[in-house]
Chain A
């Protein structure tokens, strides 16, 4: 085991990826290092939906880690992303979530930028009546909004601070790209948005959403209504670097297993008084009726029955994370299909019949672990390594995959 030189108090990581020191969820120094090594490091961060910046002049605020970002589409239809921070005093330039503008103007001293972030003009540059103004050597070309590289895939806009980040499609890899394309690769329609503030470190949600072991145990509505049970055919696919994952289920293969009789989730009365809630249609020929996909570090795409949504989470402090939900349909949907997606929207989100527990469960871990930084999580369900498993989802392989990637990028070897 090596000690990270970047921390004042070096982190001693236990062997392998089946242990996680609780300190990583509550140490402010590690949190600060993540902003630099992960969010400003060689990764693609999800910024917003391409639909948010569909038209020339569209401006959308976003975040990379805690850094405020602004995404724009210029009048040549080109996308840009910059740090939302004026080159003068550092004030936020854009305050609204969404607007359509000719150019960007900082409200503080009216420094004006074109939609690609280049400084166009500075108020009183030549002073007033020949007095004041900028020095002779002031060069607007040397001052601009700090740019990020931008790339899009299937209606998703990504940005990266690092010149070393590989091209987006290579970063995603073929299996991940193919599945994103299955779910998002056609004109999308936003059906609703909201967020929830969860009181835990961002990595606890990153683990939680990769954790196929908990899904049917904590989320008992799921199990009972046979939307997703571990005794259905399904599996886990990890990307090459193990950063991203897909967990999928095929509902039609359900064969009742006795193991479920002993858990709480099996006791729920399964006859819905409002059965239209789960009215669904077979949308794809591959038989997959439930899937959840993560793209490291903070993007999630879920497709449960016909409920399609992009989720992304933004760290708001060491023990606070804002989880965003973007519910989607396709432009091609007919009214009946859209209505089914709308009703199934009840399954997830802040009040999701299936997912609402995730709003509090990670906080329970945060509260349980913060006074025990030297203790560690035990993550051995399904083995000690992080490998794909196309036969069982009773495994924490994807969680170990996340830690594999995390250790690598943080230098915690």
Chain B
């Protein structure tokens, strides 16, 4: 039965749960301000991209943020901590139920929808971004890691600026 399900690209319940926990863990760490732990969710050569639906559908390579490899993600973190100037704010992610598919090469393709609420230093809270995550996840030493995480924003327009990863 399990083998039949896997043949359809399905994963077993234990893997599903593990992926769901991994996705939840990612957003909770970010929302709790543990930005230094962000890169640990990725493989060394992972691709992390934030783009828009318009760019994604047109096949345009430039979106809003693109990191090829964990080094570029570390540069992002260092830049936002020491170089970039912006008004203090926090994010709160709400992630919908994921669609989890086993791929023939052993990686797992996951799609999930998200919304991100932003709270400014002034106390103002509002919807900052909505869209979908398109992920490729691999197991490294028994731990799930993103090999690819593409964040596709529904809107072409970012309010004010984007500095924290989503």
Contact = CB atoms under 8 A, between A and B. Distances in A.
B83 A346 contact: no
Contact of A361 (B69, B85, B163): B85
Contacts of B75: 272-274, 277, 353
Given A193-B156, A351-B50, A342 B161 contact: no
Contacts, number: 130
Interface in B56-75: 60-75
A2 interface: no
A357 B159 contact: no
Given A192-B63, A193-B54, A327-B62, A359 B161 contact: yes
Nearest to A224: B83
Contacts of A392: none
B48 to A, nearest CB: 11
B17 interface: no
Interface string A378-396: 0000000000000000000
A359 B163 CA distance: 11
A356 B86 contact: yes
A85 B69 CA distance: 48
A319 interface: no
Nearest to B163: A356
Interface string A338-350: 1001110110011
A198 interface: yes
- Interface size range of chain A in the complex: 35 or more
B50 A273 contact: no
Contacts of B4: none
Contacts of B163: 351, 356
A248 B60 CA distance: 28
A196 to B, nearest CB: 5
Nearest to A220: B83
A274 B67 CA distance: 8
A194 interface: yes
Contacts of A198: 160
A363 interface: yes
B68 A274 contact: yes
Contact of A268 (B66, B74, B82): B82
A252 interface: no
Interface residues of B, number: 38
A343 B86 contact: no
Nearest to B50: A351
Contacts of B82: 267-269
The residue among B73, B159, B160 with the most chain A CB atoms within 10 A of its own CB is: B160
B52 interface: yes
B158 A276 contact: no
Given A273-B71, A273-B72, A351-B65, A196 B160 contact: yes
B71 A351 contact: no
A308 to B, nearest CB: 11
Contacts of A350: 64, 158, 161-162
A192 B62 contact: yes
A338 B62 CA distance: 10
Contacts of A50: none
Contact of A194 (B76, B79, B157, B159): B157
B156 A353 contact: no
Contacts of B86: 356-357, 359-360
A237 B62 CA distance: 30
Contacts of A269: 78, 82
B157 A273 contact: no
Contacts of B156: 193-195
Interface of B: 50-52, 54-55, 60-76, 78-79, 82-87, 156-163
Closest 10 CB pairs of A and B: A192-B62, A359-B161, A274-B72, A274-B71, A273-B71, A350-B158, A345-B62, A351-B162, A192-B60, A327-B62
